[in-house]
Structure 1
């Protein structure tokens, strides 16, 4: 039994940890995205500088290429007309041509290196753009999931609270069953058992009275004994009626509710139960009628015991495919936002209504009484012809 018990606190902790981990993961992904964007901007700036350098090197290279062609023509002319130039002029022509050739070679190498660096940056920029897109997509997905979870956190909390209430409800059912057994045992002991014991004593007394005082005195005692037996019988019937009204099986829901209303007014002096039935009554399956009877019984009991009501109105309305039950009282009412021990009865009623696939609505304010509405669908499979 213990192994199947739901630890609600652990479920809440797991859910909170899951949301926190996802939120931290979103922050980490966002950090990666921002770092990638910063690197992207830096690389774009570097690429712009490199492109300017490439443009400058190409312009310089074009100039050096023109100068190299010119120096080569000059060197060719000097070499061809060697006798017309001095040795110094020949040397200068040769050095100029060689210097321009070296500068042009360096220029071409620098241009190649700049182009390689530019291409490498372009590839890295493309990879960064892909990383940024993926990071943004992941951030959006995680944000959507977190938003979904956190927006539904209240519903999850309500579901967990419902699970906790059901768990507590199951425990309270066991306790209530034990309390009911104690109450029943006490009622039988204090009521019919004591009365029957008195009947036994009185019967012996009647026999003695008849012997000692004659039949007239014995007859008087017999009348008193008859009244005691009648009271004992009424008490036994009351106990049996509280366990399960036999009239439900014989007469149906509406007559049983009428009889119950009258019985309550007999036991609760000063209280008035106003019962009204609208529409054509239908006989329902036995377990359905019992459940509906218990709902009304619980409402009346709550109104009298917890609400200190003196008047309770019960209205049953039969529609084509729906049955409406309204129980209204003029008691002290209660705050629906406050959860107290008395909510055990409300939880029990909600459980019954859920089993009947119906709806339950409670309207109450402090000082203005309470109204409970049950709307039960009348499915064909629960109606007894």
Structure 2
């Protein structure tokens, strides 16, 4: 049974709804937190006032208690020496003592009420503070979950898109391999195979000429045969070179590139390739040098085949820990915002540069040529002493 294709847009819609609901819940929690914080601030202010009132009431109570003790002593003295005081003085002593006692009682009651209110405020403030902390913690957790969800959704979408691109890339690679086999078959058939067939015919002709016309005529035919064999050998070497430049193993990257670019100019009449190499060249492992060679080869081929360029600049710069490669042409360029149907060449270069842990940047515009920049880190494990 064929598996159903994953609907990325439907997944995105489900995730978006879930994220929106969580985001709304986060906002509600945040509102509760802010209201609690506002109540917390108001209660803190009231608590400060309550504590100031308690301090004032305690001070007044101490004063009233002291005055009450003094009035009691006065009243006791008046009561003991009743005959020595006038009626007015006795009445005044009783009134003062009673008034102070009433005021002290009211003071003690007010202090008690203030202390009860203070304790209540402190309990509510502690509860509000705990609520605020929990709300803030919950907001942070929800924010973290939303962040993970949105980032994971993006990664899932990117992963699915990458998988789709790689599947298309694999199909295009198979097609490219088949096209390459056809090209090699055609090159061998039209080149070395035809030449070897002619060599076989010429060898028979030489034998016949020698018998019928003598050695002089046969020698002339033999000279032409040697030229034909030389051309066939040249074609065979060219085909082998296109498959894998063996000079890489013996000479290294830079000499092989020089030779390759010179060969390209021989075949592409009217094309000039300007090659510059700045810095101290280093040797890499074989597979690394092949990968870098293919990057330059693909870029140059794109400039000639797709860009219709007549001038191409290839510059290699060796820095202490980086190798920079620039391939620039004066061709027709292209609009980078448009998706190319046969852009697997660029995808292939990106695959190679990722294996080299490097970076690739393409700058192009219609009618203004193309510049390709590769930055390759020169790590110790790829350099051969």
TM-score w.r.t. length of structure 2: 0.66
In the other structure, the counterpart of 2:349 is 349
Moved more, 15-24 or 168-177: 15-24
What are structure 2's unaligned runs of at least 5 residues?
30-132
Tell me how far 1:152 sits from its aligned partner. 8.2
In the other structure, the counterpart of 1:206 is 206
In the other structure, the counterpart of 1:163 is 163
Tell me how far 1:182 sits from its aligned partner. 1.9
Q: What are the equivalent positions in structure 2 for 1:228-247 lying under 5 Å apart?
A: 228-247=228-247
Moved more, 170-179 or 311-320: 170-179
For residues 194 and 366 of structure 2, what CA distance do their matches in structure 1 show? 42
In the other structure, the counterpart of 1:195 is 195
In the other structure, the counterpart of 2:32 is none
CA contact (8 A) 2:22 2:146 kept: no
In the other structure, the counterpart of 1:120 is none
Secondary structure of 1:176's counterpart equals helix
In the other structure, the counterpart of 2:284 is 284
Tell me how far 1:172 sits from its aligned partner. 1.4
Secondary structure of 2:242's counterpart equals helix
In the other structure, the counterpart of 1:116 is none
Q: What are the equivalent positions in structure 2 for 1:1-385 lying under 5 Å apart?
A: 9-23=6-20, 157-385=157-385
For residues 360 and 354 of structure 1, what CA distance do their matches in structure 2 show? 9
Tell me how far 1:370 sits from its aligned partner. 0.4
The superposition leaves residues 136-191 of structure 1 with CA deviations (integer Å, 9 ceiling, x where unpaired) of 99899768755775688667644543332122112212222222222212211121
For residues 299 and 189 of structure 1, what CA distance do their matches in structure 2 show? 28
Moved more, 236-245 or 214-223: 214-223
Moved more, 148-157 or 293-302: 148-157
In the other structure, the counterpart of 2:59 is none
For residues 6 and 208 of structure 2, what CA distance do their matches in structure 1 show? 71
What are structure 1's unaligned runs of at least 5 residues?
34-132
CA contact (8 A) 1:273 1:314 kept: yes
Structure 1 pair 263/373, CA: closer, same or farther in 2 (3 Å)? same
TM-score w.r.t. length of structure 1: 0.66
Tell me how far 1:249 sits from its aligned partner. 0.1
Structure 1 pair 26/138, CA: closer, same or farther in 2 (3 Å)? farther
Q: CA RMSD in A?
A: 3.3
The alignment covers a number of residue pairs equal to: 286
CA contact (8 A) 1:23 1:146 kept: no
For residues 365 and 8 of structure 1, what CA distance do their matches in structure 2 show? 36
Secondary structure of 1:274's counterpart equals strand
For residues 335 and 26 of structure 1, what CA distance do their matches in structure 2 show? 39
Structure 1 pair 282/26, CA: closer, same or farther in 2 (3 Å)? closer
